[in-house]
Structure 1
């Protein structure tokens, strides 16, 4: 009997009793329409805190930053309070957000209106402290500086503030300092994509227009790009193409293989430039170092190609060699004629010699025609000039061939020194 009496004497309390005591209902619209202060001159202090849960995307082309964050806001409602001892120790209740006043805090950089989640409930304690917790997928604008791409560090801001109520009505304050926000974000961070999260800095600011000021709370998220993928897929192939262009100096200039090889290398670099064009934004405050890197390498290759054309012209493009090249290929006149025409020209030369000789008699019986001797001398002089001006196994190079050979050596060393100096300068600029 004693036990039954003790059980029956315990009071039974419901959350509904607290709602009735506080007069929180759909009909009481004053709790929703008015700022919850007893003195209108006193501003409502809103404490905020965010936690970075995931870095989803950083798009350079559109200059946008996408992240998933948790947001916590706490403020005081002076119209709400109760004694927990009168309600069986109930010290906290959940209230639908449609029934109470909520500060109009938004993100100034927010660009996607369709990503706001529903905020169903508010946490309220017996002292009137209201806490609102929610998660949000944020798509915001971010001033992305790609000057040091792909070794860049980006800082994207999330600015919280009221759009309607000035600093006389709502003031913002951080609930945690920068180090605490950073540490907790490191603990819960799930994905970072191509980026490595560094830290979050928080500070307050005031936005003024005329005589009105708005309080702002700014969270700056710092992150560093993971550059290994870009180094392997872009930078190393560019350097390998440059090394191939340097190695092409050791290809012989006697034929067109060297020229064709250099053109192929330039085409390979052009493909990499097209890939880079899809990554970098069309408008940037500073020229990206990687764009300068590619343009200078392209200029090096173009200078090497022009130097090869000049050397090949000096070595094989002299007029004295034209006769020997036509004899070697069996072509005279236009390049489109066949070897058969060359053989016909040779037969014509033989016919001319027989006509000039006049007969098949020995030279001791009849005097040789002077025109035949003149023709033979001219042919021998042309052959001598060509042998002196082209590479022969037992010949000596002429003046222009010597100039081309020495100039090619000087250009190679200058080219190699310039490439090394440029690579060192770019490396220093990227790491600074």
Structure 2
């Protein structure tokens, strides 16, 4: 009994060894034999290998013609550019297209274990799959002139594409935003009754194959991180031809690295606001303080120009960073107006003090008092106590400038308190909106 099993195993090993033991001459002969077996030497028989829709499936009277399956896998190798103003995404992808042609099958045991065979692409039918969002698409290096034939009957076409696709972006959370861009694959001619497009991961029975492979070969380490790639099928109506077209939609999720914008825009603008707040505690001349605040205002305006060159002019929502810089510009502007008004009151009091000092030196009465007909208040005081005109003049001279100085100080302190409260409330509201937009998305 065991002898029979041993003989069977030896015969099986002998067959495998004979099949694999091919020298270079035998291997070359096997390739020529396979070339003839597939009918590649005869261009008149291209129908069999160029039109798998006709020979893969037979007509079923109950369900009609079964569409030919085409599997497409897109692997993102790099993100070259994201243009927020143009709302476009530039990527380099590896696109693998696989379809079944039963006429192109062979038994590897008969051809020195040849399981794959490269042949010119122009000798085969290839699916006319286009990218609907494409603005510009070109081959990354060079169009592959060949396709890869597998012994199981599958034909594989591999292309490296550099493409720019339209992508509708929501920049409300810029630069902490996450964008989702679509790549829609659709045949330009064949309907859903002829071609069915499906993802390559389903053929490999691995849902995470595309994203795992993309992260493995991802080369770019720039501003954007590749987060996820999902797929879904969709049937769309062609109004012109009055038929339905099958679509395979790739959803590419990318996330921006915000460190550059935080260092170059957010932190400087925040420190401009802090410096404007601290300037209230600086005891310096009015001209120096005013020039300092105007310099801060010009610095914020430079940041606004940088944002204007980055963000699109049209959008459904105003980016929060634009609100932050715009509100900071307005707060510093209001602070400058308050400083001008307070300085005006202080100058007004200083002028009155200088005039009174001049009047005291020249002997003129700044408080114009009629010696013959003094005011009622002075007359009442004279009745209670003796009051000379020099004493009345001295009290008036002291109270008038101090009144404007006191008003200026009260306005300055009140504005400082309101200014601090406004900044705290504004920052808190901005933070809440940023967090809410993250969860809502």
TM-score by length of structure 2 reads: 0.77
Match of 1:362 in 2: none
The change in CA–CA distance for 1:246 and 1:49 in structure 2 (over 3 A counts) is same
Instruction: Work out the CA distance in 1 between the residues paired with 2:262 and 2:232.
Output: 36
Within the alignment, does 1:389 sit opposite 2:400 as a pair? yes
For the Cα contact (< 8 Å) 1:43–1:167, is it kept in 2?
Answer: yes
Whether the 8 Å contact between 1:25 and 1:99 is mirrored in structure 2 is: no
Deviates more, 1:19-28 or 1:237-246: 19-28
The partner residue of 1:157 within 162, 166, 182 is 182
CA contact (8 A) 1:253 1:312 kept: no
Mapped contact 1:36–1:78 kept (Cα < 8 A): no
Indicate yes or no: 2:227 matched with 1:198. Answer: yes
Q: Secondary structure at the match of 1:37?
A: helix
Moved more, 232-241 or 182-191: 182-191
Contact 1:178–1:200 under 8 Å retained in 2: no
Question: Does residue 1:30 correspond to 2:60, yes or no?
Answer: no
RMSD of aligned Cα (Å): 3.3
**Residue pairs, 1:79-90, within 5 angstroms:** 79-90=103-114
Conservation of the 8 A alpha-carbon contact between 2:97 and 2:156 = yes
Give how far 1:153 is off. 0.6
Counterparts of 1:289-308 in structure 2 under 5 Å? 289-308=320-339
Distance change (3 Å), C-alpha of 1:252 and 1:386: farther
| Alignment pair present for 1:416 and 2:440 | no
Partner of 2:195: 170
Q: Tell me what 1:393 maps to.
A: none
* Equivalences, count: 376
Structure 1 residue 114: deviation in Å? Answer: 3.7
- Which residue does the alignment assign to 1:183? 212
CA distance in 2, matches of 1:96, 1:311: 84
- Contact 1:254–1:312 under 8 Å retained in 2: no
Q: Distance in 1 between matches of 2:209 and 2:317?
A: 34
User: Residues 31 and 317 from structure 1, CA distance in 2 versus in 1: closer, same or farther, beyond 3 angstroms?
Assistant: farther
Map of 2:67 onto structure 1: 43
Q: Which stretches in structure 2 are left out of the alignment for 5+ residues?
A: 1-20, 60-64, 364-370, 372-387
Sort the Cα spacing of 1:179 and 1:80 in 2 relative to 1 into closer, same or farther, 3 A: closer
**8 Å contact from structure 1 (residues 320, 386) kept in 2:** no
Q: Which residue of 2 aligns with 1:287?
A: 318
Farther off after superposition, 39-48 or 266-275: 39-48
Q: Please point out which of 418, 431, 434 is paired with 1:427.
A: 431
Look up the SS of the partner of 1:131 in the other structure. Answer: strand
Deviation by residue 1:280-331 (Cα, 9 ceiling, x = unmatched): 112222101000011111111111111111212222236962863997xxxx
Residue segments in structure 1 that go unaligned for 5+ positions in a row: 1-5, 328-345, 351-369, 371-376, 391-396
Q: CA deviation at 1:260?
A: 1.7
Q: TM-score, normalised by structure 1?
A: 0.78
Contact (CA 8 Å) 1:320, 1:382: kept in 2 or not? Answer: no
The answer (yes or no) to whether the contact 1:173–1:217 under 8 Å persists in 2 is yes
CA positional deviation for 1:194:
0.4
The structure 1 residue matched to 2:167, chosen from 130, 142, 145, is 142
Provide, for residues 20-58 of structure 1, a one-character-per-residue CA deviation record: whole Å limited to 9, x for no partner.
222224733435764442247231100122222112221
1:15 aligns with 31
Structure 1 residues 131, 255: CA separation in 2 closer, same or farther (over 3 Å shift)? closer
Query: CA separation in 1, counterparts of 2:304 and 2:196?
Result: 50
Displacement of 1:259 after TM fit? Answer: 1.7
